[in-house]
Amino acid sequence: MAKVAVIGAGNVGATCAHVLAQKDIASTVALVDIVEGMPQGKALDMRQAGPLQDYDSSVVGYNDVAEGVAGADVVVMTAGLARKPGMDRMDLLKKNLEIVAGAMKAVKAKAPGAVVVMVTNPLDVMTWVALKVTGFPRERVLGMAGVLDSTRLRTFIAMELGVSVVDVSAMVLGGHGDTMVPLPRYSTVNGVPITELLAADVIEKLSDRTRKGGGEIVALLKTGSAYYAPATSAVQMVEAVLKDRGHLLPACVALEGEYGEKGICLGVPVIIGARGLRRVVELRLTEAEKAMLKKSADSVRKGIDEVAGLIG
């Protein structure tokens, strides 16, 4: 079985490692953090939960990033400063650049065949940073945000209609932030478009809540940010890779002309398998949807431009 390394043992990373262990899809889950004793303690705690939750995955804690990621098949990058109330994701850009770049250098050296799943914010920019620092092909560097944004929209649709979330599918494109682009036409309840089930003003309300989904949780927690849904979203992507599922998911990838964009990483529908990205799926968008996606892409490009000269 495979090895998955999770960099960052905070709430998102630790939850990610635990969900991975529960799914028993990797023989080894390496939990990496620079805080002495923390990843080791959490890893041991997870191992002791194994007999009660029927999993045999070996969860091991490391302080050295290079040692922890060595030989990994998939690396999940969660380490970084958490967003605080009133802080835009783009405010995190420069603060998290150094953290991500350092970790990706270790991945390049010690796990040269790995698929990288980026979770650290600002997500789209940090996915681009990981791509540049590792030099990996775009197929092996993926950003998690689209799965998270879409699952938030799925949740809000199910809550509004009083239906099972299992029956709800949703599609959200664009950058992971206020300019994301929910697509009601491609969001359904057991195959029925939500445009047939909800009024336009209600759909816009749910879309707006999705755009502000992370901020809503930050405001409620006051001293932290979301972690259950982000961690589980990352695990879904890891599982798609390890099981070669051919899963169609919205994810952040480097674009090479798709949707009229090049040189940036942006959330679009993709098919994910054993080596990461199989292909980008290009949806037919309305002119209004194209305009919203262009606005989102421009916002991401601005962030990339700010860090492009800082990567050594």
Mean pLDDT, residues 218-228 taken together: 92
Amino acid identity of residue 299, one-letter, is S
> Same domain for 117 and 188?
no
pLDDT greater than 80 at residue 93: no
> Same domain for 137 and 151?
no
Q: What's the pLDDT score for residue 223? A: 86
Strands 172-173 and 181-182: antiparallel
Q: What's the pLDDT score for residue 310? A: 80
> Same domain for 109 and 152?
no
Is the torsion defined by CA of 151, 157, 159, 165 positive or negative?
negative
Q: How far apart are CA 297 and CA 249, in angstroms?
A: 19
> Same domain for 152 and 137?
no
Q: Band of the pLDDT at 77, cuts 50, 70, 90?
A: very high
Strand order in the sheet with 247-256: 58-62, 26-32, 2-7, 74-77, 115-118, 141-143, 247-256, 262-273, 276-280
> Same domain for 118 and 164?
no
Domain end, chosen from 112, 145, 178, is at 145
> Same domain for 138 and 169?
no
The CATH number of residue 10's host domain is 3.40.50.720
> Same domain for 211 and 279?
yes
Residues forming the active site: 176
Count of the separate structural domains present in the chain: 2
Q: Band of the pLDDT at 88, cuts 50, 70, 90?
A: low
188-208: pLDDT as tens digits? 999 999 999 999 999 999 999
Domain end, chosen from 145, 171, 200, is at 145
Range of the domain at 62: 2-145
256-305: pLDDT as tens digits? 999 999 999 999 999 999 999 999 999 999 999 999 999 999 999 998 99
Domain end, chosen from 125, 145, 165, is at 145
What average pLDDT is seen over the chain? 95
151-202: pLDDT as tens digits? 999 999 999 999 999 999 999 999 998 899 999 999 999 999 999 999 999 9
Strands (DSSP E) found in the chain: 2-7, 26-32, 58-62, 74-77, 115-118, 141-143, 168-169, 172-173, 181-182, 188-189, 192-193, 247-256, 262-273, 276-280
> Same domain for 87 and 76?
yes
> Same domain for 150 and 68?
no
> Same domain for 127 and 237?
no
- pTM exceeds cut of 0.75: yes
Q: How far apart are CA 159 and CA 31, in angstroms?
A: 34
Q: Quick one: tokens of 84?
A: 């605080």
Q: What's the pLDDT score for residue 198? A: 98
Q: Quick one: tokens of 292?
A: 């919203």
Do residues 7 and 69 make contact, with C-beta atoms less than 8 angstroms apart? yes
> Same domain for 65 and 164?
no
Secondary structure letter of residue 175 according to DSSP: -
The CATH number of residue 286's host domain is 3.90.110.10
> Same domain for 216 and 122?
no
* CA 138 to the chain's CA centroid: 15
